[in-house]
A and B are shown apart, each in its own frame.
Chain A
Amino acid sequence: NAGVTQTPKFRVLKTGQSMTLLCAQDMNHEYMYWYRQDPGMGLRLIHYSVGEGTTAKGEVPDGYNVSRLKKQNFLLGLESAAPSQTSVYFCASSWGPKSYEQYFGPGTRLTVT
């Protein structure tokens, strides 16, 4: 099993450009999450999904959109990137209700210039 994978690992964008980060898990997990990690602020939840076709906002959702068309994939989109979105992005997944361990991907470092 590959576990949780993220594509790409690094990306540099110019302000106003768009991009999609892909998260894939091969563990048949029900729940998936997107976090961002900024210096001195820990990880903060952007959006999450409790099942295929469902998404919900987390703590810092502005400027991002997500989709979960397939159970194994969770996409994070930036429609018009801003320098404030420079961060490391982590995807995580878990089995679902009553399962509290989240499995994390390796992260994507995004720089917006």
Chain B
Amino acid sequence: AQTVTQSQPEMSVQEAETVTLSCTYDTSESDYYLFWYKQPPSRQMILVIRQEAYKQQNATENRFSVNFQKAAKSFSLKISDSQLGDAAMYFCAYLWTGTASKLTFGTGTRLQVTL
């Protein structure tokens, strides 16, 4: 079974600084996707960024970028120029492109942004 591990329960960053959230996963599959979801206090799950395993290039979305190390099974999220609105729970998730596209989530990292 696939597993996703987020070893940082909480992180803190100052406004305008850069922070990196870590995620590792375990799978024997070769064709899969990795995601970072943001969950603010409103509870809504918001997709931040997506990485296809077959792509070597790291995904970027504005201030958000990933460091995807396929051999090491590592998928970290870098947030640049942190803003107060970035404060939230962040979940790493894995999806195998096989049956039913089911997501497996990590336990989450709570990010605090301070002035």
Q: Is B73 an interface residue (CB 8 A)?
A: no
| Pairwise interchain contact A88-B43, C-beta atoms closer than 8 A | yes
Known A-B contacts A42-B91, A88-B43; the reply to A102 vs B100 at CB < 8 A is no
**Interface pairs (8), CB distance under 8 Å:** A41-B107, A42-B91, A43-B45, A50-B99, A92-B103, A102-B101, A107-B43, A107-B44
For the residues of B in contact with A, the DSSP-based class is mixed
| Pairwise interchain contact A100-B101, C-beta atoms closer than 8 A | yes
Q: Which residues of A contact B95 (CB under 8 A)?
A: 100
User: Which residues of chain B from 49 to 102 have any CB-CB distance to chain A below 8 Å in the complex?
Assistant: 50, 91, 95, 97, 99-102
In this complex, the interface size class of chain B, counting residues with CB under 8 Å from chain A, is: 20 to 34
| Pairwise interchain contact A104-B107, C-beta atoms closer than 8 A | no
Q: Which residues of A contact B104 (CB under 8 A)?
A: 45
Q: Is A62 an interface residue (CB 8 A)?
A: no
Known A-B contacts A104-B44, A106-B43; the reply to A56 vs B100 at CB < 8 A is yes
| Pairwise interchain contact A102-B103, C-beta atoms closer than 8 A | yes
Chain B residues with a Cβ under 8 A of chain A: 4, 9, 33, 42-45, 47, 50, 91, 95, 97, 99-108
User: Which residues of chain A from 81 to 111 have any CB-CB distance to chain B below 8 Å in the complex?
Assistant: 88, 90, 92, 94, 96-102, 104, 106-107
Could you tell me how many residues of chain A have their Cβ less than 8 Å away from some Cβ of chain B?
Answer: 26
Q: Which residues of B contact A48 (CB under 8 A)?
A: 100, 102
- Sorted nearest first, the 10 A-B pairs with minimum C-beta distance are A104-B45, A42-B105, A43-B105, A107-B43, A42-B107, A100-B33, A50-B100, A100-B95, A42-B108, A42-B106
Interface centre among A42, A90, A98 (most CB of B within 10 A): A42
CA of A106 to CA of B39 in the docked complex: distance in angstroms?
Answer: 11
Minimum CB–CB distance from A71 to chain B (whole Å) comes to: 16
Q: Which residue of A lies closest to B4 (CB)?
A: A42
